[in-house]
Amino acid sequence: MHNVTANGATIPALGFGTFRMPGADVLRILPHALKVGFRHVDTAQIYGNEAEVGQAIAGSGVARSDIFLTTKVWVENYRHDAFLASVDESLKKLKTDYVDLLLLHWPNEAVSLPEQIGALNAVKEAGKVRNIGVSNFNTALMVESVKLSKAPLVTNQIEYHPYLNQDVVIAAAKKAGMAVTGYYGMADGKVFTNPVLKDIGATHGKSVAQVVLRWLVQQEGVIALSKTVGEARAAENFAIFDFALSAEEMGAIQGLAKADGRIVSPDGLAPAWDKVA
C-alpha cells in the first residue's frame, strides 16, 4: 500500500468505497476488506450506510486510528446550522469522534459557497474532522473553494476511469496542492470487456480491475476508490502493489478516453463540467 500526501494529509492511495452498498453488505464485506489490508474507507450521508460502516469498523479488530475514514455532507445539509448538526449525526452513526476527511458531496447553488466552506472549516476547527475537501467540483468551483477556505483542501473526489480524461482537473488540483480521488474506476462495468485492458492484464497476470486500479494509483496525486461486495474480488482489488505498468501501457489506457465518456452527471447537481484539454 502506498500513500498520497496532499496539503498535509496522508491518504492511503487505495480506498474501499461503499456507494450503493446496502447495510447488510457493508456489515459482511467491510470487515473482510479491512482484513485483506484496506485502510481507507469511503462513505457518505446520502448512502444511508454510515451506521453499518461505523459498526463494521468498531467490530473489525482494526484500530480506528489505523483507518482513514471519509464521509460526505449531502447538499440538503449545506446551511451552516444544518451542516454542523448533520456532521454530529454522521459521527454518531460512524461511532467515532472524528472523521479523517469530510467532503462537500456535490455543488449546491442554493447555499452560497462561502457558507459551505465556512461550515467545513468550522467542523475542522472543532476537531470533528481532520481534513476537508470537495467532491464533483469543476476547476472553477475548486479554485474558488481553495481561496475561501482557511484550512487547506486536500482532495476533489471525481468520476475517473479509462474512458474519461480528467487531466484538466488533475492539473488544477496539483497546482493547489490537492489530490484527486477517483470513483467509478470500472466505468460501471464497461472496462471489463475492453481488449486493450485485457491484453495488459494478460501481460502481468492480473485482472482488468487490477490493471485499472493500478493505472489510477500509479498517477501522481491520484487516489482510487474500489468497490465490491465479493470477498475474493476485495482481496484481488487490494493486490495491485506488486506490479507496475510501463509508460507505454499507461499511455495506452489514457488513450481509451472518449469525448462522451462521462457516466455520472445528475440533473440539478452536476456543475458545468470542464472541457477536456
List pLDDT tens digits, range 101-143.
999 999 999 999 999 999 999 999 999 999 999 999 999 999 9
pLDDT score for 276: 81
Residue pLDDT, tens place only, 238-256 = 999 999 999 999 999 999 9
Question: Do residues 51 and 23 touch, judged by C-beta distance below 8 A?
Answer: yes
To the question of whether residue 204 is assigned a binding role by annotation, the answer is no
Q: Is 183 a catalytic residue?
A: no
Q: 3-state SS of the chain: helix, strand, coil percent to 5? A: 45, 20, 40
Q: What number of other Cβ atoms are within 10 A of residue 121's Cβ? A: 16
Q: What are 42's strand-pairing partners?
A: 17, 70
77: which 3 cell numbers? 445539509
pLDDT score for 123: 98
pLDDT score for 277: 61
Residue ranges per structural domain of the chain: 3-187+219-229
0.85 exceeded by the pTM? yes
Under DSSP, the state recorded for 218 is T
Q: Which CATH architecture has domain 3-187+219-229?
A: Alpha-Beta Barrel (3.20)
Segments of the chain with pLDDT less than 70:
1, 277
